[in-house]
Amino acid sequence: MARSEDLFAGSEDDDVAPAWPWARKRPTNTEKSTMNNKKRPRGPAPDPGVTVATLPRGPKEELRIVYKSFEGHPYTSLETWTKNAKGDWCPGKGTVSIRNSELADVKFRLEHIHDNLARPRPDGGK
């Protein structure tokens, strides 16, 4: 059986790994930064899609209806965009994706809401 002195023999500068895994030298901050900054292969850029409509929601916000695809699956995206301090349009926090299989039902429900809002309510409410 090895003595503990034999397991930790050598100086801190030795490149030899100790017998105990928890006793190995920890990486320095420089070594950590180079480990984390390795170039990782990236996939293709996301599909920017085709903007079907842009609806203003004020001077600094708009709602965009965009037709996109992801991994070959088409969908419609409702996205809020805001104007930053430089005057550039940037994607906002609100995005809703609607699958093509859901479009007909969403259209029907939105038309139903629109039709009911256009008629005055019997109770006089808004």
pLDDT band at 46 (very low <50, low <70, confident <90, very high): confident
Q: Are 116 and 109 in contact (CB under 8 A)?
A: no
Which residue would you say has higher pLDDT here, 41 or 52? Answer: 52
Which residue would you say has higher pLDDT here, 16 or 75? Answer: 75
- Give the C-alpha separation, 63 to 87, whole Å: 16
> What residues form DSSP beta bridges with 81?
62, 91
Is pLDDT at 39 greater than 70 in this prediction?
no
**70: which 2 tokens?**
């992801």
Task: Calculate mean pLDDT across residues 35-46.
Answer: 65
What is the SS3 assignment for 99? Answer: strand
Is pLDDT at 119 greater than 80 in this prediction?
no
Gyration radius (Cα) of the chain, Å: 29
What is the SS3 assignment for 24? Answer: coil
Domains in the chain, please, with CATH? 4-36 (no CATH), 50-118 (2.30.31.10)
Q: Around Cβ 107, how many Cβ atoms within 10 Å?
A: 11
Helix (H) / strand (E) containing 10:
none
Among 7-11, 65-69, 79-83, 85-89, the least confident range: 7-11
Name every residue whose Cβ is closer than 8 Å to that of residue 59 and which is 6 or more positions away in sequence: 83
Is pLDDT at 18 greater than 70 in this prediction?
no
- Give the C-alpha separation, 28 to 37, whole Å: 14
